[in-house]
Structure 1
Amino acid sequence: MSYELDEIGGDDLSFLRRKSRPEAPKGADPLRLVDLFAGSGGLTLGAMESCRTLGIGLEVRLAMELDEEVRGVYDLNFESLLKDNRADVRSRFDREPGQKLSAAELKTQQEVGKVDILVGGPPCQGHSDLNNHTRRRDKKNELYMVMIRAVEVLKPTYVLIENVQGVRRDHGEVLERATWWLSEKLRYSVEHRLVRMIDIGVPQKRVRHILVAARGRNVEEVLNFSPREPPRTLEWAIADLLEIAPRSPFDIAALLTPENQKRAKYLLENGKYDLPNRLRPPCHRDNPSHRYTAMYGRLKWEEPAHTITTGYGSPGQGRYLHPSKPRTLTPHEAARVQFFPDWFEFGENPSRRLLGHCIGNAVPPKLAFSVLVRLLHKRVASTMPQTPQGEAA
């Protein structure tokens, strides 16, 4: 087998447009997954699709998410065998790496049992370049080390941690400490680097920092993704949704203010993608050297989308105006760009706040798929019977 397993189910576009939920991947010896800081389940979904591609079963032993509503979306889409999962992850992993296991950690270890894959996307706002208040110094940045403590407690075979680029510049050197603990103390092979989403087939200009680790396997080349030329475009992802009937909040764009309606119409009528300063709010207009050219901007059909955040419904928070309609992206369109398939459920009547958090804070499932299919393909290959040299296969 090679690493050329880059399409979910053999066809990414069919995966995204599928309306019916596929059965969970099954196998005689299913892998056991733990997802911390799980959100709506982007990492879990990617893990499931990697197992499906390789013919491996998967079961979710534990998935923890603090936000009750977001956790409800996770529950709609996945089954977690342990239901005490709405508390802070520190209620189960409450000590620092190297310390004696606490009663809560011993209980978790016993309840969860053997773990094959540990994934997580610790809160990234403290590392984000968009955070002008506590960037690099936010106390939540230390939640990254909770993942390392979970590795120490659960001893998974594979580890995948996702975060923003800024984690590399944290003043507490959380990445350096995490890497040292994994490699020097826990004896994992560790690799970390920035991964461009366009290189793994996600149609957005998103860049994320990924750390992978494995016991007994070298992970040196796992994150070495070649540039995808040409990258997938916004048109590839959402062109079929252009005339979809808006029957629910999922397919209705946020209501624009009169000022933003004028801005959106100006861009369309004049064939422009960047709003001129004279039409921007005073905070931009009075500072002609500002660098926020993407804000109030229009997306292009023939390019990948800009990074989807929780603010994808507001033109003042990024380049989120539709290429050919005087509106922002709908939640459905944003979910497609984030690589959530149409069958994924967000609830019967979800609020815009909930949709924003579930979609904008998510890890694109294609990311977990692309990384884990490489890690797990090595496992599958190592367990396949070898044909003696000189004999016919």
Structure 2
Amino acid sequence: MNYRIADLFCGAGGMTLGFVDNRFGGGFDSVFALDNDKSSAATHRTNFGGESLCENIETWISEADVPKVDVVVGGPPCQGFSLLNKRRTGDERRALWEPYLLAVKESGARIFVMENVAELYRSPELDDIRARAESLGFKTSAWVLNTANYGVAQTRKRTIVIGWDSVKVPNGVGMPTQTHRDPSIVVASDRNLTPWLTVKDAFKGLPADTVGIDIGDGSPLDLHFGRSPTTLSQKRYRVVPPGGNRFDLQRNAPELTPDCWIRKTSGGTDLFGRLWWDRPSVTIRTEFFKPEKGRYLHPEEHRPISHREAARLMGFPDDFRFSGSKVDIARQIGNAVPPPFAGAIARSVKEALDAVKMLDSKIDGATSEAA
């Protein structure tokens, strides 16, 4: 029998997929999911069993009966911690871990998994989260992990907090086991690990040209659409070399470079940058279809990466179905937990729960013999 999970702030369901799909982790059934974004809840509903509800967590926790599960997963919104947010003080989104932990307690979960941006790890807020979890009877561990080390073709660093009921799971939950390694750094203990997946690995089988429409049939070409760039944008794309960025644009074609970039002579080395074929991608964010926002140009083609390419870089399989507009889907992709990464977490959680089950079985057996 599979273990039961609930996914709060579920987004598209990248974390859920890692837990329920045997291609990644498996051994869990989706019982409940919650997100306040309508298109995200629809995507989750399309791909998973159980209930997928569109609601704010504060409203839901005050009005509904929290379902009973073994594990609660999810990531309270991370924008309050992000370095991209310069007004972090007092950001109310930072407090949404409180109803999350209340739901953990009311669900009877033995383990919870919280995912957030890397900056959370050194934030005083993490101390508050761990103290609150301890007051509810949960011990915790926290790490900053790079998704490229877990089979994702993307260097995305995230804080993972795992908590376990100190009575129900006495031996705790270990750090997810690394499966891949940076090929430029080889130490004896890592020699048996697979080298990082690359952009070339992720894009395998996709045509260089985008098809321009959403086919909607779940094939690899579904979501392999692009924008309709202006003539000026096309000229800019063409002067950025492999691995280049906005500084190459300025050097090669100053007449095509925005004045604001000319005036800003430092920083922003990923802006208007091309991905490399032989490396993982940089972190995929919600506006990956805009090269002015980051290193989102195709390694060779004169265009931004497509939605399908972004989903591949996140580790979503082609048969995963997204709901909503192009902007909705881009937001879901950029905010997701990469499924292969979630699968590594799921394996650690399942190992801990299986150990408890085995211990309980031995105790029951010993009790029966004594009787």
Which category describes the TM-score, using the shorter chain as reference length?
A: 0.7 to 0.9
2:227 pairs with one of 246, 254, 263? 254
Superposition deviation, residue 233 in structure 1: 0.6
Superposition deviation, residue 255 in structure 1: 2.4
Superposition deviation, residue 130 in structure 1: 1.2
Superposition deviation, residue 78 in structure 1: 1.2
Q: How far apart, in 2, do the equivalents of 1:166 and 1:372 lie?
A: 23
Superposition deviation, residue 214 in structure 1: 1.4
SS of alignment partner, residue 181 of structure 2: coil
Q: Give per-residue Cα distances to partners, 1:353-376, cap 9 Å, x unaligned.
A: 111111111111122210111120
- Counterparts in 2 of 1:140-289, with a 5 A limit? 140-170=93-123, 173-183=124-134, 185-215=135-165, 216-219=169-172, 221-223=174-176, 225=178, 228-229=181-182, 230-243=195-208, 246=211, 248-249=213-214, 250-268=223-241, 271=242, 273-275=244-246, 276=248, 277-278=250-251, 279=254, 280-288=257-265
1:146 counterpart letter in structure 2: P
Q: Check 1:37–1:59 CA distance in 2 against 1; reply closer, same or farther (3 A cut).
A: closer
Q: Is the 8 A contact 1:45 1:365 kept in 2?
A: yes
2:366 corresponding residue in structure 1: none
- Counterparts in 2 of 1:76-91, with a 5 A limit? 76-81=46-51, 85-91=53-59
2:185 corresponding residue in structure 1: none
SS of alignment partner, residue 205 of structure 2: helix
Q: Is the 8 A contact 1:124 1:141 kept in 2?
A: yes
Q: How far apart, in 2, do the equivalents of 1:89 and 1:272 lie?
A: 42
Q: How far apart, in 2, do the equivalents of 1:152 and 1:383 lie?
A: 21
1:47 corresponding residue in structure 2: 19
SS of alignment partner, residue 342 of structure 2: helix
Deviates most, 174-183 or 34-43: 174-183
1:287 counterpart letter in structure 2: K
1:108 pairs with one of 60, 65, 68? 65
1:160 counterpart letter in structure 2: V
**Structure 2, unpaired ranges of 5+:** 183-194, 215-222, 363-371
2:33 corresponding residue in structure 1: 63
Percent identity over the alignment is 29
TM-score, structure 2 normalization: 0.82
Q: How far apart, in 2, do the equivalents of 1:79 and 1:244 lie?
A: 35
SS of alignment partner, residue 293 of structure 1: coil
Q: Is the 8 A contact 1:313 1:329 kept in 2?
A: yes
Q: Is the 8 A contact 1:50 1:372 kept in 2?
A: no
Q: Is the 8 A contact 2:177 2:344 kept in 1?
A: no
Q: Give per-residue Cα distances to partners, 1:39-94, cap 9 Å, x unaligned.
A: 1111111110269856x35242x21111112211111111223x6x2110111224
Q: Check 1:244–1:51 CA distance in 2 against 1; reply closer, same or farther (3 A cut).
A: closer
Superposition deviation, residue 283 in structure 1: 1.8
2:7 pairs with one of 23, 32, 35? 35
TM-score, structure 1 normalization: 0.78
Q: How far apart, in 2, do the equivalents of 1:251 and 1:195 lie?
A: 29
2:271 corresponding residue in structure 1: 295
Q: How far apart, in 2, do the equivalents of 1:204 and 1:191 lie?
A: 24
Superposition deviation, residue 155 in structure 1: 2.5
Superposition deviation, residue 272 in structure 1: 5.4
Size of the aligned set, in residue pairs, is 332
SS of alignment partner, residue 93 of structure 1: helix
Superposition deviation, residue 258 in structure 1: 2.9
Q: Give per-residue Cα distances to partners, 1:148-168, cap 9 Å, x unaligned.
A: 121222231111110102223
Superposition deviation, residue 344 in structure 1: 0.4
Matched, 1:363 2:316: no
Q: How far apart, in 2, do the equivalents of 1:232 and 1:141 lie?
A: 33
1:67 counterpart letter in structure 2: D
Matched, 1:331 2:276: no
Q: How far apart, in 1, do the equivalents of 2:208 and 2:302 lie?
A: 14
Q: How far apart, in 1, do the equivalents of 2:96 and 2:61 lie?
A: 10
Q: Is the 8 A contact 1:195 1:223 kept in 2?
A: no
2:299 counterpart letter in structure 1: P
Q: Give per-residue Cα distances to partners, 1:79-134, cap 9 Å, x unaligned.
A: 223x6x2110111224xxxxxxxxx3xx413xx1x3101011111111111122x2
1:19 corresponding residue in structure 2: none
SS of alignment partner, residue 34 of structure 1: strand
1:187 counterpart letter in structure 2: G
Q: How far apart, in 1, do the equivalents of 2:311 and 2:179 lie?
A: 25
